[in-house]
Structures are given as structure tokens and as C-alpha cells.
A and B are shown apart, each in its own frame.
Chain A
Amino acid sequence: MKSIKPVSTLLTLIPSIAYIPILIEIIKGFHIGGLNIIFLFISSAIKPSFNQEVVKSALEGLQITIATALTSWVISMLIGILLGVLSTDLFWKGIPKFSCLGKFIKYSLAIPRSIHEVVWGLLFIQILGLNNWVAIISIVIPYSALTARVIAEQLDSFDIQPLIAIKQTGSNFMSSFITILLPKLIPILSTYGIYRFECAIRGVTLLGIFGLGGIGTELYLTLKSFEFNEMWTCLWMLWLVIILLEKFIRFLRSYLSTNISLKNSFLISISIFSLSLSLGISWLYNLNFEMFTPLSFSYLNLPSFVEIRNGFNTLPLFKLIITTILITFFASGIAIGTPPLLLVLFPGKLPLKVQNLVWIFFRLIPPPLTTILILLFTNPNISVAALSLGITHMGVMGRLLTDNILNQEKSIYRALKSNGSSKKSAILYGILAPQSNSYLAYGAYRSDVILKETALIGAVGGVGLGWQLQESLSSFDWAQVIIITATFSLLTMSGEFLFSTSQNYWLENSTNNFTS
């Protein structure tokens, strides 16, 4: 008998086993001590503060966050497109002598990509001080590298026959390149660009939680001082703005996707970029952003070789790495496994819509805040970190899954039902199964992001490399900081390799494509 080989459909459900160790650990460390605070927190949700000062500073914070996100988004898209084109194999076919330069760019971009924007922020604060440009730089560096990668991958996956054919007609390389590839680039840009913008807003909020201003800082300060009513004001306003933005973007997208000619879509892209840039910059200026104060570079004494060696000895690196891997493992488990599980446990159109709302809600909660809350009634450990990360990311996965299902053809489901199968089985086979390969592909991508985000959780949650980074930064131990950052970067780069291999495996066999 052939060995058991669970099919992708099952593989979407199995990861929820991760709940078992997580819940066991949380219950073990559980104490009712902080429950009244949690209760206070939850009840404040329905009575947020309407104090004028609070609303005013929340509004200002929101503006700073969105304007910063917009500006950093535009800059990172532009740089990303440039770097992306430069790192394709395709581009260098025209200048074969320098093709190794292309490869060099491609591989070295892995480094800025491997470090989360918050970690960049924490590092840049040390060099540039509390300048507002730190937020922008911290976003631009990883995001351009990420965008470059997506663009390079997409461009390299295209059939180059038309390009060769055009070259045969004698046109020079650059014109043929632009003619063939630009039309293919624009749809990728619109999908991915929108996703990056939403990430930018989230990233700037997280940077704010770590002190760089905007709504994130307001959230953090109000939460830490236990002023829950004020915190909820900020949170509700943030959610409102994000939901409105999403609706606006969707509207824009559907309006633009009715077949427009290449020239028009190109012009529209240019105008979106320039408009966003000018909007972002002028907005920030109005918010007293201190944009034109020159950046002050503070020269740090780079640690000596001896200090670095000492750093290695004093850091429990192995334990930290294992902890980080475990957190990623468990968080990904619940993030991937929960949405399909709920889908099967609660079948039906209405439950599906409810689940959709729940996921939207979870998606918008910044993980560090969840960690702070959970820590009120349990001890800091891996499970707390895993749960906080898992909750936010299951929101992302779940939202994507339910959205895709709501738009999916129900034919297989109906066919199975008409042949007598029960609702649950029909959903398992007819609705979940067709989604499972692309869902798992996206899950692989999510796990990559989760791995990078363990840095943030560690910082508030007392575990893992992130926590050690925070400790070393507050002791101004540069040797340790360098070692931890390098370790983390290596870890995420290996993770990226692993996850993108699995992602490609699942994508090969999938019925549809999740818009990532």
C-alpha cells in the first residue's frame, strides 16, 4: 500500500495542531491576576474617549502615519522598479559583458530584504537620532528590495520569444525591451503596488509603536499608561481610515482595470506616482515634519574584533535562534490552519461573511499590542509571541481565503451536493480543495513575513532574538547588536529561500492565484 501522503487540502487544516502546545503553555502560565484589566480593556472598546485633545492628537498621528507611508511607498516603488529591472537576467542580455553586475545586484538585495523595517528603524535611530526621515528610510530600504525581487521574478518568468522576434527586426535592445516588457509590468505593478501600500501603512504604524511618531506612538503610549478609552479612540480611527482607504483603492482599481490602452495606463501610473509623492511631501511639511533639517550623523565607535568575540560568548545565540524558529513555526501553524478549520466547522454563506469580518478585524491589530495584552494574564514565553503573531496573520490569510471563496465558482460544490454528499464534505472537496494549493503557496509567503516579524514581538514579549536586540540596544552594546542583526539576517535569508521554494512548489499546481 502506498504510504500516506496527505493532499494539500488536508495540509491547510493540519497546521492548526499548533494550537495544542500554544494553549497548553498559556494555560500553564495563566493567572487570573490581570483579568480585570483585560475586562477593562474590552469594555473600553465600546466607550472610546471623545475628548477633544485625544481626538486631535489621534487625527494628527493618523495624518503623519499616512503621509509618511505614502511618501515612503512612492520612493520605494520607484527605486524598486529600477533595481528590479537591473536585477533581471533579461536586461543584461543586451549587455552581456556586465551580466555579473545584474547577478550581484540581485543577490545583494537579499540583505536589505532580510531585515524587518522596524529593525532598520531601531538601528537607524541610533545613527540618525529621532529624525522623522528615519521612518521613511527604514521603509524604503526593505520595501525597494522586496519590490525589486517581485519585479525581477515576474519579468524573468515571461516568454522572451517576442523579444527575440523584435530584435530580429533590427531594433535596438532598449526599445524592444520597453515595448515588450512594459505592458506586462503595469498589471503586476498595480496589484503588487497596492499590496505594498497597505504594508507601508502597517509598517509605519509599527514603527510608531517603537517610537517613531504617528498613530503607532499614540497607540503605544495610551496602552502603556492603561488609558484604554483613549487607546480605543486611536484604534477605531485607524481602522476606519484603513477600511476607507481599501475601499477607495478597490474602487480605483476596478475603474482602471476596464481595458485601458497601454499608453493611458502608463500615464496613469506616472501621474499616480508623482501625485502621491507631492501629496506626501506637502502633507508632511504641513505637519511640521522638519523635513529639511539636515540629518545629523552620529558616528558610533565600531566595536573591535575582540569585543565582537566577547559578544559571541555572552550571547546565548543558539537558544535565541531556536526560540525564534519555534515562534515562527507555531505562529505560522495557527495562522495557516485556523481559517480553513473555521470554514469547515462553520459552513454556510452567512458564517462565511462573519468569518470575513473577523479576519478583517484581526488583520488590523498590531501584534505588539496583542502581546502587551496577553502578558497581562500570562508569563512571557514562546506561546505568547506565537499567539500574537498568529492572530494578526490568520487575519490576513483568512481574509484572503474568504474573499477568494466568496468570488469563487461554486460549480464543484453544487455538483457534489447534487450527488448526495453532505454540506461539510461538499465544502471540503468543492470549495476548500480548489483553493488549497494557492492558499498553501501564500501560507509559505506569510511564514516568511512572520519570521521577520518575530523581531518585533521579541522586543515586547521578552523572548527570542528581538528581545535580545532590544536589551543590547538599551545597553548600547554595539558588538552584540551587530551579532544579533547579522544572525537574524542570516536566519531570515535562509527562511526566505526555504519558503519561496515551497511557495513555487504549490504555485505550480494551483488552480488560481491569490493576489499576494
Chain B
Amino acid sequence: MTKLLELKNISHSSKGSIRVKDINLTINQGEKIALIGKSGSGKSTLISIANGSLIPNEGDVIWKGSHINNISNIESSKIGTIWQDLYLIKELNVAQNINCGVLGKHNFIWALKNLLGVLDKGLCQECLEAVSLPKKTIYSYINKLSGGQKKRIAIARLLRQEPEILLGDEPFSNLDPLLSKNILNLFINQKNYLRIKIPETILISLHQINLIDNFNRVIGLKDGEIVIDREIHNINQSEIDWLF
């Protein structure tokens, strides 16, 4: 089992309160991990630290053996995140936002060209299909879409990126249960969707406890500390209740 991402002795506080404490976590290739915990238990902080965008007060994050802040852009593009706040760009249309996923794989001139119109139309449309949005959505502007649609665009952007690991911060909030189930199924069980390669390793934070059964490892956070870290068949219901 190749070690992809390691979080060693991570602690972080901001604005006076402790967000996460003494986190030690190793993510191996191929694992499908569910991250659960109450609101405010530190899930978003953990994910931000894991993808390198937030530098923790203490501890190190290691990606494939190197410190995460020292890796190249190419390696960074192998880490994909679905953010809770989405971070879509209102001033651009859907296709251009989806293409943001691959900014790391192209040069600046491509980035400028992307602003001119629609690049890689076919690939963008495939990503939209994967999240059950009609193809013609690629021309719409973000501010005309509903919350649920925006969420799906963010997911489509990640699919476009084709990272090795997918970190998701509540990617299914705002989506109806059937859709959530379908997309989760896509992540967990499929290797490809048309031309898009689905990430092998995933870590997703969830509120919908009923979906945990699809994963093979569960991590539970309580007050910023990892209190559960086991394979799915070792967990019982009472422990999960205790978390919340």
C-alpha cells in the first residue's frame, strides 16, 4: 500500500480557539475514507490543512514523501479539493470554471485563451454529464444558477482535474439524496466516466450518516481530535451516535 498523504502531529488554532489537535493520519492509495463529526469539529480545517492551502501551527503534511509546501505544481495538481464554499468564479461561465480544474496542467497562455471562450468543450460536457447537468449548461454564468447546481459545477471542476486524491468538504450538502447517492457511487465504484479518470483515493466529510456504508474507512472528529479511525465493518452505531 503506497502512502499518499501523511498528516503528522498537526495542531492548529485560529481566532483564539483550537480547531484541530494532535492529528496523526495516513492516507493510502485506494482508500475511500468518510470523515464524520459535528459542525465545528474541525472537518473543514483538516481538509484545508491536508491539501496544503492552510499551514498548520504545528506539524507537517507529507505528500508522497515530500513536504507538501515543497512539491511542484504538477504534484499539486494531483491533489483535488471540493470546497465547502465552492470558490467558483462568478465572472466566468460554467465551462471556464470547470476548466479551472486543469489550470495546473497548462501554461499561462492557455489560461488566457480559456478566458476568451470555451476550451475543451467535449471534456467539460462529459464532466457535466457525470453530475447530471445538461450539456448546454456550459455556456451559463455562475450567478444565474441555484445552490445545488453550483455545487455540482464544483464537483465537475474536480472531475476535470483528474487528481489522484479527492478531498471533499461536504460535497453533497444541497444535493437531493438520489443525486448524492449516484455521485458517490461514481466516486467509489467507477474507474472512469467516459474519458474522465475518477480519482482512486478519496476522503469526504459527510453529514449524511446513511452514506457511510459505501466507504471502507471511517474517521470521526470530536472537538478537533480524531477519536475514531477504523475500517467500516468495525464500527457500531452507538459510537457514531456518541460523536454527534
Contact with A along B112-132 (1 / 0, CB 8 A): 100111100100000000000
**Given A419-B161, A428-B112, A411-B92 contact (CB < 8 Å):** no
In the complex, which residues of chain A have a beta carbon less than 8 angstroms from the beta carbon of B118?
Answer: 1-2
Whether B73 and A433, one on each chain, are in contact in the complex, defined by CB atoms closer than 8 angstroms, is no
Q: Are B53 and A414 interface neighbours, CB within 8 A?
A: yes
Asked whether A416 lies within 8 Å of B103 as measured between CB atoms, the reply is: yes
**Interface status of A511 (Cβ within 8 A of chain B):** yes
Q: What are 25 inter-chain pairs, A to B, with CB distance below 8 A?
A: A3-B117, A6-B117, A7-B96, A7-B116, A9-B115, A10-B112, A411-B85, A412-B87, A418-B52, A418-B76, A419-B51, A420-B103, A421-B104, A422-B107, A424-B108, A425-B108, A426-B103, A428-B111, A429-B92, A429-B111, A433-B89, A433-B91, A434-B89, A509-B90, A509-B91
Are the C-beta atoms of A418 and B105 separated by less than 8 Å? no
Q: In the complex, A433 Cα to B103 Cα: how many Å?
A: 14
Would you list which residues of chain A between 1 and 29 have a CB under 8 Å from chain B? Answer: 1-10
Which residue among A7, A414, A419, A425 has the maximum number of chain B CB atoms within 10 Å of its CB?
A: A419
A415 CB within 8 Å of chain B: yes
CB distance from B137 to the nearest CB of A (A): 13
Chain A residues, CB < 8 A from B77? 419-421
Which A residues touch B81, using CB under 8 A?
Answer: 415, 418-419
Taken together as a complex, chains A and B put the C-alpha atoms of A1 and B143 apart, in Å, by 23
Give the residue among A415, A420, A430, A434 with the most B Cβ atoms within 10 A: A420
A425 to B96 alpha-carbon distance, docked (Å)? 13
Q: Does A217 interact with chain B (Cβ within 8 Å)?
A: no
Nearest CB in chain B: distance from A481 CB, A: 46
A426 to B101, CA, bound (A): 11
A424–B161 Cα gap in the complex (Å)? 18
Interface of A toward B, CB cutoff 8 Å: 1-10, 411-412, 414-422, 424-426, 428-430, 433-434, 436-437, 509, 511
The CA of A412 and the CA of B76, in the complex, are separated in Å by 16
B interface residues (Cβ-Cβ under 8 A, vs A):
51-53, 73-81, 83, 85, 87, 89-93, 96, 100-101, 103-108, 111-112, 115-118, 121, 139, 141, 143, 161, 163
Of all chain B residues, the one with the shortest Cβ separation from A9 is B115
Which 9 A/B pairs are nearest by Cβ-Cβ distance?
Answer: A420-B104, A420-B77, A421-B103, A420-B76, A418-B53, A425-B111, A415-B87, A421-B104, A10-B115
From B91, B106, B115, residue with most partner A Cβ within 10 Å: B91
CB distance from B129 to the nearest CB of A (A): 19
Is the pair A9, B79 in contact by a Cβ cutoff of 8 Å?
no
- B116 adjacent to A437 (CB under 8 Å): no
Query: Which residue on chain A has the smallest CB distance to residue B89?
Result: A433
Minimal beta-carbon separation of A335 from chain B (angstroms) = 21
Q: Which residue of chain B lies nearest to A344 when distances are taken between CB atoms in the complex?
A: B108
Pick the residue among A5, A8, A416, A422 that contacts B91 (CB under 8 A).
Answer: A8
Contact A2 B90 (CB under 8 A): no
Given the known interface contacts A426-B103, A428-B112, the answer about A2 and B89 at a Cβ–Cβ threshold of 8 Å is no
- Known contacts being A418-B81, A419-B79, A428-B112, is A511 close to B90, with CB within 8 Å? yes
Apart from A419-B76, A509-B91, what are 14 other A-B pairs with CB-CB below 8 Å?
A: A9-B92, A10-B112, A10-B115, A414-B53, A415-B87, A417-B76, A418-B79, A419-B103, A420-B76, A420-B103, A421-B111, A429-B100, A433-B91, A433-B92
Contact B117 A4, beta carbon cutoff 8 Å: yes
Q: In this complex, what residue of A is CB-closest to B72? A: A420
- Residue numbers in B under 8 Å from A411 (CB-CB): 85, 87
B residues less than 8 Å from A426 (CB atoms): 103
Q: How far is the CB of B107 from chain A (nearest CB, A)?
A: 7
> A422 touching B108 by the CB < 8 A rule?
yes
**Which B-chain residue is minimally distant from A440 (CB atoms)?**
B91
- What separation, in Å, do the CA atoms of A437 and B128 have in the docked complex? 26
Expressed in whole angstroms, the Cα–Cα distance for A430 and B103 within the complex equals 11
Q: Given A418-B81, A419-B80, A419-B103: A7 and B115 within 8 A (CB)?
A: yes
